[in-house]
A and B are shown apart, each in its own frame.
Chain A
Amino acid sequence: MLLMQILLNGILLGGLYGLMALGMGLVWGVLNIVNLAHGAFIMMGGYAVYFLYTSAGIDPFAALPIAMLAMFLFGFAVQYGILNFIVRSALLNTLLITFGFDVVLTYVAQLLFSADLRTINPPYAGSNFGVLGLTVPVVRLGVFGVALGLALGLWLLLRMTRLGRAIRATAQNLIAARLYGVDPRLLYAVTFGLGAALAGAAGGLFGLVSQISPYVGATLTAKSFVIAIIGGLQNPLGAILGGIFIGIAEATSALYLSPTLVDVISFGLLVVILVTRPASSFRAA
């Protein structure tokens, strides 16, 4: 029974992990930018929802769209105003410049919000219900549902809309997409904005199940990266599956090995997966 409960916890948390990776995978797959500030974007989303709840009294789940819109505009501006000027240079440069963003955002967050750990605590935070002898926390179930919904939404957006087609076409071949009338500067900015918006949503949800501080960014970036690779960059639902996989792996390893090894487990799994999978499947990047 303990194992079943652990598995359930892992799956519920894994949905959120998947959502974190979703934005990073989208930006990586389409723009070929590995955004090292992704974790910092998640952190910003977390603070946005936290203050919308504590200062304006908006329910955290209702505050998500507001935070997402704000993060979309922020991401759009960052890509349009800065990253577009450097996006075609070597991968190391985009790694470095986004690392620079991470440093700046972490510092600004520390200045504005102090280093305190914060948790978003709506009145229903402690409530849960039992199913088949398992305890299901309401908040975590909600978080899982929203994460799944957003992944599905992104999948539909990419499959069914003109914007989605333009994004997919650009990911495949920038020059060909340009010939068919896609404005790459605008499209890159919109895509980066979407990635930031997803990070914002993940941040709000993260604040509900864990603690936000200015320094959570780096760990979350690494985790998003790992899951984006495991889940693959092609399909949003793959990211959710990758997240669930890591969620389960972490939960079970915390139970059977040692809680201190949790972060190493996901990295170790990643190295094993990377090395054992045939190199050809990674050529696309």
Chain B
Amino acid sequence: MTKSLPGLLLAASIAVVLATVPWWNNAVLLQFGINAVQLAVMAQAWNIIGGYTGSPSFGNSTFYGLGTYGTAITMVQFHQSFGLGLGVGALLAVIVALLVGIPILRLRGPYFAIATLGLAATVGAIFANLPIAGENIGLVLPLTRDEPLFYELSLGVLVLVTLTVLFIDRSRFGLGLIAIREDEDAAAVTGVNTTLFKVTALAISAFFTALVGGIHAYWITFVDPSSSFDPRLNVNMVIMAVFGGPGTVLGPVVGAFILSTISEVLASSISTAASLLFGIVIVLAVLFMPKGLVDLGYGFRRLGWRYFTETVRQYRL
């Protein structure tokens, strides 16, 4: 605990500074901030199932979508409050995670990845055909132009999910998850209830992803199947987590902020080639820092430029 205390203090003070952003009187920055913080929450939530447990979920947008629709249906069709809507969305996501997680988490590696991708597509199609969810058209939520509220709420969820990850990182539960990631059979043999652990990890991940979905829905005041269950969302959160460092406490958040900033700067300065450069950034990042930014930070301090030759040597054929 003492070893990482400076890092945590730094993170805490950065969080305090970030909380003052709404008072900087910069509407563009606030807009960008809400998006970046929400992506950071998703990357961090993915980190629990993908980074710590090592189950590469490409279907977390399922839970995001359930969050958006849970909130929207509660508010629009039942005229309840936003808070209740958030709760309903999160509950829905956790229930689905528990029900679907048990069969799907038996699959490993790419099979799990594609099953979760299929899950997102299937749940999206179900909502596109539900009358209560507005079918293909979606739902329009009551308008509330309170950007600071949405920003602070998102930031609050980010702090909460990061504290959860910190707790997982230090707990027996987290050790069990890491054991599953490194060797699932060995973990089972040493007494880890792998199914229980993996399903719990997925449910926690689903909970936070759904919360951010609900906030996003109320912020944008609109939900529809294609944006709620957008497959690009899955890819984005995975990239951000892996860029920063999967299986670390702060890596996914750092990765999300850096990549959000890069793509925002690229989009505003050279909008035509933004996606091209984004693709190149991903390729270079995987080539030169396959273990993520956090590992690069530690390794570079230890080895200097030799860090790069060492990692290449480790993974080349």
Contacts and interface: CB of A to CB of B under 8 A. Distances in A.
Interface of A: 28, 34, 82, 84-93, 95-97, 99-104, 106-108, 111, 184-185, 188, 218, 222, 225-226, 229, 260-261, 263-264, 267-268, 270-271, 274-275, 279, 282-283, 285
Contacts of A89: 290, 314-315
Contacts of A97: 282-283, 286-287
B317 A185 contact: yes
Contacts of A225: 110, 114
Given A89-B290, A93-B290, A263 B283 contact: no
Contact of A267 (B50, B117, B128, B316): B117
Contact of A86 (B121, B279, B290): B290
A263 B120 CA distance: 12
Nearest to A110: B275
Interface stretch (B34-42, B149-157, B204-212, B235-243): B235-243
A92 B121 CA distance: 21
Contacts of B128: 260
Contacts of A282: 107-108, 111
Contacts, number: 135
Contacts of A106: 275
A271 B115 contact: yes
B109 A91 contact: yes
A100 B286 contact: yes
B82 interface: no
A275 B276 CA distance: 37
Nearest to A275: B103
Contacts of A285: 108-111
A260 B225 CA distance: 13
Interface string B97-133: 0000001101111110111011101100100100000
Nearest to A96: B286
A216 B273 CA distance: 19
Given A96-B238, A274-B111, A282-B108, A108 B316 contact: no
